[in-house]
Amino acid sequence: MSSLADVIRHRHIVDFASDGVVCLRQVINPDWIEQLTAGLERNVADP
């Protein structure tokens, strides 16, 4: 996993300022994605 400082470039900052969004791939550890998905599914099933 890369640190954000290794991933974010000036172009990302410019694009975010212009578009309001950028896609930073492989920044979040897949284990966190699994945990967030499980939590979301629980909340949808039992709000």
**Hunting for tokens 């939590």 — which residue is that?**
39
Rounded to an integer, what distance in angstroms lies between the CA atom of residue 42 and that of residue 27?
A: 24
Task: Summarize the confidence of residues 1-13 as an average pLDDT.
Answer: 84
Q: Is the per-residue pLDDT at 12 higher than 80?
A: yes
Alpha-helical (H) ranges within 1-47 are 4-7, 10-19, 30-45
Of the candidates 5, 9, 7, 13, which has an alpha carbon nearest to the alpha carbon of residue 26? 7
Rounded to an integer, what distance in angstroms lies between the CA atom of residue 3 and that of residue 18?
A: 24
Amino acid letter at 4?
L
| Threshold 0.75, pTM exceeds | no
